Amino acid sequence: MVTDRRPPSRVTDGLAFDRKILELEHRIETLKAVSQEDSIDISSELKSLEERLHREQKEIFDHLTPWQHVQLARHAARPRTLDLIELMMTDFVELHGDRRFGDDRAVVAGLARLDGRPVIVVGHQKGSDTKERIERNFGMPRPEGYRKALRVMKLAEKFGRPVISLVDTPAADPGAGSEERGQAEAIAYNLREMARLRVPIVVEVIGEGGSGGALAIGVVDIVLMLEYAVYTVCPPEACAAILWKDSTKADVAAGAMGITVDELYKLKIIDKIVKEPFGGAHRNHEKMAATLKQEIVGALDELSRLSPEELVERRHEKFRRMGAFAESGQL
């Protein structure tokens, strides 16, 4: 059973840049409570505060920096994979284990129905509180997690079910144990096998899409990305540590890496930007799930018209077109 995760209501739960918004929301909630309790008409004051709230939200969210996008993508109350599965799908049956080593709880995989359509769903699961985050390794999969995901995707191919992949990870697990058990090989094998999979695959970047940790379940036909999610070659802190030997310059790195939806769409790394509820997905899980579900259903309808051979060829072409290079004269 998925724990109910409500959007934050306390000012202390907010991010630094939207603290003013949370303060205004708190004042509005307090005034409404007082009005109902004491039967006082404060409608004009409430209207004024609500208009001010809307202006503040628009000003902040129309001018977000790349680093602020990262902060939103990491928001503790943002809907996770299991939240979205529960809100979008029915008859979810989770499958466990990679049949080689064990079960990695950083990856969720199983069977479900989307609008009555049988699907396979895989995704990263970060966790909603400290205990669950530790149990799920903060959404950083180990090799057995990727092998589990591929095992379940192979079932999709066997039974002709489309695959839905929900990406939300800072990166693959970098620990010694993961390296000893073949982390790089597990990621590389997934990339190859997903490129060959003869069923439709749709990915949704719902939070962080970090490095090979994301791409290992991200070789797909259509890439959807939530408005305030990020897709990165590595976490900004790691990039800053590599380039400047100073991880505190993560905000500078985020600005240089091209990790936001607008930049990624221009580069054709993603196929569609999915709008979030005003103020971010963490403010309204139900609305976010309904919007995302509609986009996934549309993507699957589009892909269902293609033959398995066309799917594979189109997928190969999609990834071949990514990036650009220029040839110079012989040195």
Phi first, then psi: what are they for 172, rounded to 5°? -70, 155
pLDDT, one tens digit per residue, over 63-95 is 889 999 999 999 999 999 999 999 999 999 999
Q: How far is it, in rounded angstroms, from Cα 125 to Cα 108?
A: 6
pLDDT at 174: 92
pLDDT at 7: 42
**Which fold, 70-320?**
2-enoyl-CoA Hydratase; Chain A, domain 1 (3.90.226)
Phi first, then psi: what are they for 231, rounded to 5°? -130, 115
pLDDT at 9: 42
pLDDT at 13: 52
Point out the residues of the chain with pLDDT beneath 70.
Answer: 1-14, 36-41, 324-325, 329-331
**Residue ranges of the domains in the chain?**
13-63, 70-320
pLDDT at 330: 58
Question: Is 161 within 8 Å of 116 (Cβ atoms)?
Answer: no
Nearest to 108 by CA among 117, 119, 99, 121: 121
Rounded to a whole number, what is the largest CA-CA distance in the chain? 83
Q: How far is it, in rounded angstroms, from Cα 69 to Cα 72?
A: 5
pLDDT at 4: 41
50-88 burial by CB neighbour count: b if 16+ within 10 A, else e? Answer: eeebeebbeebbeebebbbbbbbbbbebbbbbbbbbbbb
Give the contacts of 263 (CB within 8 A, at least 6 positions apart): none
CA 22-25-27 angle, 5° bins: 110
Please tell me the pTM assigned to this model. 0.85
Q: How far is it, in rounded angstroms, from Cα 297 to Cα 293?
A: 6
Strand partners, 224: 204, 272
